Structure 1
Amino acid sequence: MTKKYIAKDFLKLAAKGHSHEAFRLYIGKDFKHHNVYFKGDANTLMLAMDESFRLNPNKTLEIHHAIGDKDMVAVHSHIKQNTTDSGVAVVHIFKFESDKIVELWDLGQAVPAEMINENGMF
């Protein structure tokens, strides 16, 4: 199982409402999360993912790219909260120790209704 596979599976499980399983399988000891809107521990993030799924059971995650380099993996994806949502382009950056995720950064940009750039976000 590669680090890219683990990162993508972690995101897929969380998006489908299986964050407890994702954390049990893939999160390492002393995990740190770097999102300014949440405390930086694993339990806070897991509960936030649970709540997000409860509020948005039709959420979709479409992974466009996964790039790995040594102990780091970056995943570029399109997340929609529901079928009418234009969504958010998100980059998750995972740091690994062995096969466990020990740090996670997530950066997002809303998909605008009109884009100047002809290449789009994906």
Structure 2
Amino acid sequence: METNNSSRKEKAVTFLKLVASGSVREGFARYISDDFIHHNPFFQGDAESIMLAMEENASQNPNKVFDVKLALEEENHVAVHSHVRQNPDDLGAAVVHIFRFEGDRVVELWDLGMAVPEESVNKNGMF
């Protein structure tokens, strides 16, 4: 269980697990700053827009699978590399979320994703 002394890396991972599981508002209440902005080009840059989109996605995909592969923390930034599948049969995508913290709250977020192809010439795979 996370404590107040948790690392920013633990906070970022817990936030992502909460929103992936459908507990979007809890994740935002616990971790997102009032001054939050994000850089997803498909939504306006405010907290409310991305929170509503995450809620809609969670509602449409109640069996989402979120698997953290790596989390890195450096100063006030955290990067989380994960495999996200909208359902257990979905090939999903490799996703990287980059968080900027001020204190214990996320003030800025970037997310980048690449779909997992059915076939790949790269024998190493995406993970």
TM class by shorter chain equals: over 0.9
Query: Is structure 2 residue 114 aligned with structure 1 residue 109?
Result: yes
Kindly tell me the number of residue pairs found equivalent between the two proteins.
Answer: 122
- Deviation at 1:83? 1.6
* Equivalent residue number for residue 32 of structure 1: 37
Identity of aligned residues (%): 54
Q: Helix, strand or coil for the counterpart of 2:54?
A: helix
Match of 1:13 among 18, 28, 37: 18
Q: How do 1:1-122 and structure 2 match up within 5 A? A: 1-122=6-127
CA distance in 2, matches of 1:3, 1:83: 29
- Deviation at 1:84? 1.4
- Aligned-residue CA RMSD in angstroms? 0.5
Gapped regions of structure 2 (runs ≥ 5): 1-5
Q: Helix, strand or coil for the counterpart of 1:65?
A: strand
Provide TM-score, normalisation by structure 1.
0.98
Opposite residue 102 of structure 2, the aligned amino acid is E
Provide TM-score, normalisation by structure 2.
0.95
